[in-house]
Structures are given as structure tokens and as C-alpha cells.
Structure 1
Amino acid sequence: MTAKSASSSRRRSPWIAIPVKIILGFILLSVLMVSIYRFVPPPVTWTMLLDPNGITKDWTSLDEIDPDMARAAIAAEDGKFCSHHGFDVDAIAKAAIHNASGGRIRGGSTISQQTAKNVFLFQGGGFVRKGLEAWFTVLIEAIWGKRRIMEVYLNVAETGIGTYGVQAGAIRYFHHGAGKLSRPEAARIAAVLPLPKKRAAVAPGGFTRRYGNTIAARIGAIQRDGLDSCLR
């Protein structure tokens, strides 16, 4: 190698090393964060911090939440929660086909994907955020497992204006904790989850009422068919 080529190689190497270090640093940091949150409740999320309505939340373990709440979430958001590994390929494909045809945009995200986004990322962001969401989804599926994913989801999901988690939502709407939710109450909270700032679980009308009734009817099937078996 000539002196000129050696000098050129030295000039280029830092530009290669810096991105590699950044990527490795991100991987290590993300694995560390996910590992910590396997045991420690996430203290706050970006969605909470950016909420102008403030934050009302009360972390509650999955064992202290009525099982019908988790079943309602599965019925409403992710029927294959216990059988997939973070991604429901069929749901994603159907959502893509539906969205390409126009009309109301439909999502294909699983509860695992929503949890990854809610805990570690931000709303919006396009393909970059989606790529990061996929990475964190893989990590929480591998490190947390299904029970922890559901537990975190039910504690960080927005359940009303400035209200996060089903415990705070149950108190807001029904004046008692999530451990005492009836099946219709759990279904109503699940019906609110997609649009918590525009829907109310108390005296719901129109679509929210009908959707809540549909979810309530599905809860029994979720239990009967063992679609919540990974949480037992």
C-alpha cells in the first residue's frame, strides 16, 4: 500500500467508525432499557410528557386488574395476541389493502407494537418511527414475554383526556379500581382506546356504544377459546 492510499484509508475510517458506534450504542441502550422495564414500571412516556392536559395514572399489576380487561383488549385490538410473535402479518396485509382503497385509515398494529410505540417512542414519525417500533417490538417479545407486555400496555395506554392506564380510566369513568371492572365496563374502556380524546366510556353513544357491546360479546369467546391463555 502506498503512503497516499494509506493516508486516504485513515481519513475514511473515522467516517465509517462513527455510524457503527452510534448503531452499536443504540442497540446496547435499547436492550438495557427494555431489560430494566422488564421489572421496573416505565415512569413516563413521550405521549404523556407532550400531553397538554397533564398526566393521571396509577400503575397496577396485571394480577390486580380484572381478567376481563385484558380479554377486552385482545378482543378489540389483537385477537391473535397470544399466538403471534409481535406482528400479525394477516392484519397488516388487510390494513394495507383497505387503506389503499381509500376511506377511513385502518391500522394493523398488534398490542405488542402499540406497547413498544407507547413506551419507547412517539406518535407519528412515518417509516423511521415504524422501523424503530419494529425493533422494540422484537425486543419486548423476547425479553418481556406476553404477560409483561399486556401489563405494561394496560398501564400506559391512553384511556381518556390526560388519563393513562386502565386503573386511572376505571376510576375516572366508574369510580372504582380496575380490579372491580364488570364485563361491560371493561368493554367500554377497550372501545375508547383507539380514540381516547374523542370517546367516552360513560354513557357512550353511536359507534362507541355499539363497538363496546360488540367487544363485551367477544370477551366470552376469548376466554372460551383460550385466546388469553398466555396471560393465565
Structure 2
Amino acid sequence: MDIAPEREDSVDMPVRRQWFGDRRFGDRRVLKRIVLAVLVFLILPYALIFFYLLPFIHPISTLMLRDLLLLRGYDRQWVSLDHIAPVVVQSVMMSEDGQYCFHGGVDWAEMRMLVEDTLKGQATRGGSTIPMQTAKNLFLWNSRSFVRKALELPLAVATDFVLSKRRLMEIYLNIAEWGPGIYGIEAAAQHHFKVPASKLTRRQASLLAVSLPNPIDRNAGKPGRGLRRLAGVIERRAQGSGDYIKCIYD
């Protein structure tokens, strides 16, 4: 009597099926973890905005966190807005965001002109408001990209909506970068002019304000001719900024 030989795959087929099933299960688990991580990344900043309502919370920026992780260290001394010379607020607003008290986090008219200039291939200005810069400094990275800008806009609107203009300005001035490892207006005042932030003069404040777009290359304590000229323009604007800063001091 002939006995038919067993098929080679009769035994190991279920094993293969089980192995493929385990791999599919593992892939789904990895995908779920990735989706969860992305959701946390997107949602956490909005939760932190409410946390930053508390006046005794002193946020740090992503650049400060980077310096900590790289073991560089940094200099930052938190000061309340009451201990920052008003000329600093005037100068920063006139240099960075003249409509700060009037928009809801994003200057849409400025953004529209920025988009139009970009589509035409023309050189563009930054177009960032102080809420946008604060949101970027607190939650995002520093390089330019459309992805970052897309994340930045709703964060800026939420930050401006939740925080008062006064609290938002206080946070911004305490996390802004004013040189390698120099963060916040108090550290900047001490580093560049050897005075506390409460004692800055109008000229010193304007020099610090115009150095903000590029604080690594623009040294407020040792300004070149171009930086001094820009500071002079901001100084004159700041002197007539009364109506523009009412949301801070009224």
C-alpha cells in the first residue's frame, strides 16, 4: 500500500500564520503609540497655556530647554512686569508688534501682505506678532518652515485669548533670547549694560528691542552703526507710543 508523503507545509503553515498575525498586531501597536505621541504633542501646549495663567509659574523656552539638555546652561532671572522699565515695553512693542494691544494674537492684515509678497517672489518681513513669537519660544522650534507656522498661528490665538496682554508681555520679556545663553530682560540688562531691567534707559531699551530679531549677531551692548540707527528710529517711536501700550498699563 502506498503512503502519500506528507506535505512539507502541513505542519509549519499555522506557525507562519501566527507569526504574521503577531507582526500585524505589533505594527498596529506601534502605530497607536505614534498617533498618541502626535496627539500629546499637539494638545499639551494648549493645556500649558492655562497653566501659565498662574503668576508664580515661570515658563522656560524650548531654546532654554535645549541648552539644558546640551549641558550648556543659561542665564535667566525672572522679573515681574512691575520691575521692568516701561521704556522696555514701549520699545519692544514699537519694534516687534506695534498693534499688540489691538489684534487677537495674529495681525491678519500683515499676514495677508506677507503671503501676497511671498507668492510674488518678493523679499518678506517676519510678520510675527509678540503672541506668535511667545508661542514659538514656548512650544516650537526656531527654524522657518510652513509646518511650524501652521502650528504657531492657532497657538498664538489661544495664547492671546487665555492670557492677559500684561501676562503675555511679562512671559515674552522673560523668555526672549538676547545673546548666547542670555534669556529674559533682566539677564540681558545685566549682561549688556550692567544695570537691572528696572533701570534701563530709553536708549538702552531701544538697542535691546532692535537686537531681538537676531540677538546672536546683533549685540545691544556693542552696537554697530546700523543697529544704532535702527535704535534711534525705535526710540522716537517709543516716545509717542502712549495710545499703543494702554492694554499694559491702563
In the alignment, is the contact (CA less than 8 A) between 1:92 and 1:107 conserved in 2?
no
Most deviating of 112-121 and 131-140: 131-140
1:45 matched to 2:65? The reply is no
Q: Deviations over 1:116-149 (max 9, x none)?
A: 0001111126222112212221221121121111
Counterpart for residue 230 of structure 1: 247
Does the alignment pair 1:128 with 2:147? yes
Q: How far has the Cα of 1:71 moved from its partner?
A: 0.8
Corresponding residue for 2:129? 110
Give the distance between the partners of 1:228 and 1:49, measured in 2 at CA. 31
| 2:77 alignment partner AA | D
Paired residue for 1:150? 169
| Equivalent position SS for 2:241 | helix
Q: Is the 8 A contact 1:86 1:137 kept in 2?
A: yes
Question: How far does residue 21 in structure 1 lie from its aligned partner after superposition?
Answer: 6.3
**Per the alignment, in what secondary structure is the counterpart of residue 35 of structure 1?**
helix
Structure-to-structure mapping, 1:17-96, within 5 angstroms = 25=40, 28-39=43-54, 40-42=57-59, 44-51=60-67, 54-96=73-115
Supply the distance in 2 between the matched residues of 1:131 and 1:58 (Cα, whole angstroms): 31
Shift of 1:211: 0.5
Deviation string for 1:171-226 (max 9, x for gaps)?
01110110011111110100110110001112411221110111111101112xx1
Q: CA deviation at 1:81?
A: 0.2
Gaps of 5+ in 2: 1-27
Tell me if the contact between 1:56 and 1:163 (Cα under 8 Å) persists in the aligned partners: yes
> Which stretch shifts more, 94-103 or 126-135?
94-103
Aligned counterpart for 1:213 among listed residues 223, 232, 242: 232
- 1:8 matched to which residue of 2? none
The structure with the largest alpha-carbon Rg is 2
What TM-score does the superposition give when structure 2 sets the normalisation length?
A: 0.78
Partner of 2:111, secondary structure, is helix
Structure 1 length normalisation: TM-score? 0.83
| Contact kept in structure 2, 1:99 and 1:106, CA below 8 Å | no
Write the letter of the residue equivalent to 1:127.
F
Bigger drift between 20-29 and 121-130 goes to 20-29
Q: CA RMSD in A?
A: 2.5
Structure 1 residue 68, shift from structure 2 partner = 1.0
Percent identical: 37
